[in-house]
Structure 1
Amino acid sequence: MKICSLSSGSSGNCIFAGSEHVSLLFDAGISGKKTEEGLNAIGYTGSDLDGIFVTHEHLDHIKGLGVLARRHGIPIYATKGTLEYIESHKSCGKIPEGLYHEIKADCPVTIGDMTIEPFRISHDAAEPVGYHLSSEGRTAAIATDMGTYTDYTIRHLQNLDVLLLEANHDVNMLEAGSYPYYLKLRILSDKGHLSNEASGKLLSQVLHDNMRHIILGHLSDENNYPHLAYQTVCTEVTEGDNPYHANDFPIHVARRDTVGELLEI
């Protein structure tokens, strides 16, 4: 299995994941041009893609979706609520008939040698999901845009080789920052985003001896810094109620303007 963040942050999210025979995108929240450039940087093109799985309908997750789907005839997979919102608001322009495919939380989808299982997340969107991926005995998950997490979330993040996990904001920066009050409340709510501290606490509950990589993603441009997200999550892991220290695992921070390393598991 391979995974790479082409872009991750409040301004746009796009994650590549694949196997020897399958190439997928999870969200397309940057322009079609930037997505193509990101794919080229890791040795792929848009025409290599077998599908785009959408977590939810917010613009930072679907900005380039319509362009890519039309240009390359790429199937789009999303929940009923997400598809209905995209279609009713014409968020992606006209999509050719037959490209939309409805999926349901906890109902796995198999494409070639990859199995993709959506799971429910808590966010202020129509019907948002995260994704658990498996192929040839390897597993990964993409878990961002979560205001909170539950035992259900934790179950879907157990025994992974790779986890891309949201570390959206520093609470103090957000509270003291320039965002309007209603937006601060939204981000801090149970349907908002995970703080650095909450991300570290969640990570502490799903670590295990064989985890290969952790990627911190969806960082806020105004209310976080990469080094702050990294240090806060590391502190939570090292000081948390678990047998590990943060330096026991490779922890990467995904950037909004830089293609990450193509991790091969």
Structure 2
Amino acid sequence: MTLQFSVLASGSTGNAIYVESGDHSFLVDAGLSGKQMEGLFQKIGRDMRDLSGILVTHEHSDHIKGLGVAARKYKLPIYANEKTWNAMDNCIGEIPTEQKFVFGMETVKSFGSLDIESFGVSHDAAEPMFYVFHSGGKKLVLITDTGYVSDRMKGTIANADAYVFESNHDVQMLRMGRYPWNVKRRILSDVGHVSNEDAAIAMSEVAGENTKRIYLAHLSLDNNMKDLARMAVAQTLETRGIRIGEQFDLYDTDPRIPTALTAV
């Protein structure tokens, strides 16, 4: 079965990723309005009515803003762990019981030929977790919203064919920027977001012979730029013996423009 995905939107203004394999397709997070998400689906030639469900990573608004509306309109199952359900219950409106499913941390759920594995990350949410998709011998990893990448995470995500990997900020831009110090400290902490350089170090430690594509995701609008992120990641990888274009390629993501629907 072909495993395909599109990063519909990525950044502090809203996040949503589409993944499909065979008869099953999932939206990971719904951090934009229902109308925006419908428009993004149209751009990749897909329809939200055909979704098998929505997988939630954590309860921050840039990941669940449109979740309740989309679930009710299209009668979609929602999957999240118990602590995330409790944390977001008051934010997404009433969801019928038959649409609410618990997806525990560090577990695998199978949907036909598609296996979805959850793993914990380090972020200031109730119990944040991201997902690895396995199908037809291919492996796709989604990992953003983490202050660092632990050895446990690295073991789970190693040697994927494709990654959607957080590259949130340039440390100097963040330090010199307009954010109040308490916000800067949160972003720089172990429960914040990884910088361009830290992302690249983690990439160098998990990329393997299967790895062909890495998408730089969740870039800060205020403290990063696509060109800067790509350059910083490429430079750091090069110091660790990895040349972009030889082992794997880097790709941008955008807050408003979906990436092309791509086979892993």
TM-score w.r.t. the length of structure 2 is 0.97
Q: Which deviations, in whole Å up to 9, do the C-alpha atoms of 1:17-60 show, x marking residues without a partner?
A: 11121110111101111111111111111101001111000000
Q: What are the within-5 Å matches in structure 2 for residues 214-229 of structure 1? A: 214-229=214-229
1:51 to 43, 50, 53: 53
| Paired AA for residue 82 in structure 2 | K
**Which consecutive aligned stretches of 4+ in structure 1 deviate over 6 angstroms post-superposition?**
none
C-alpha deviation, 1:257, in angstroms: 1.4
Query: Which residue of structure 1 aligns with residue 40 of structure 2?
Result: 38
Deviations 1:205-230 (A, max 9, x none): 11222212111100001000011111
Once the two structures are superposed, residues 98-145 of structure 1 have per-residue CA deviations (whole angstroms, 9 ceiling, x without a partner) of: 111111121101122211111010000000001111011111010000
1:246 equivalent in structure 2: 244
Superposition TM-score, scaled by structure 1 size: 0.96
Which runs of structure 2 are paired with 1:171-250 in the superposition (5 Å)?
171-240=171-240, 242=241, 244-248=242-246, 249-250=248-249
| Structure 2 equivalent of residue 261 of structure 1 | 260
Contact 2:122-2:191 at 8 Å conserved across structures: yes
Does the Cα contact within 8 Å between 1:235 and 1:246 map onto a contact in 2? no
Structure 2 unaligned runs (5+)?
none
Q: Residues of 1 paired with 2:112 and 2:61: CA distance?
A: 29
- Give structure 1 stretches of 5+ with no counterpart: none
Aligned to 1:131: 131
Equivalent position amino acid for 1:262 in 2: L
CA contact (8 A) 2:19 2:25 kept: yes
SS in 1 for 2:179: coil
Measured in 1, the distance between the counterparts of 2:50 and 2:141 equals 21
Query: Letter of the aligned partner of 1:264 in structure 2?
Result: A
- Residue aligning to 1:67: 69
How far does residue 260 in structure 1 lie from its aligned partner after superposition? 0.9
Equivalent residue, structure 1, for 2:108: 108
Amino acid at match of 1:44: R
Q: What is the aligned length?
A: 261
Shift of 1:96: 1.6
Corresponding residue number in structure 1 for 2:151: 151
| Residues 82 and 104 in structure 2, CA contact (< 8 A), matched pair in contact too | yes
For 2:66, give the aligned amino acid.
G
Whether the 8 Å CA contact 2:123–2:147 is kept in 1: the answer is yes
Tell me, in whole angstroms, the C-alpha distance in 2 between the residues paired with 1:40 and 1:212: 27
RMSD: 0.9
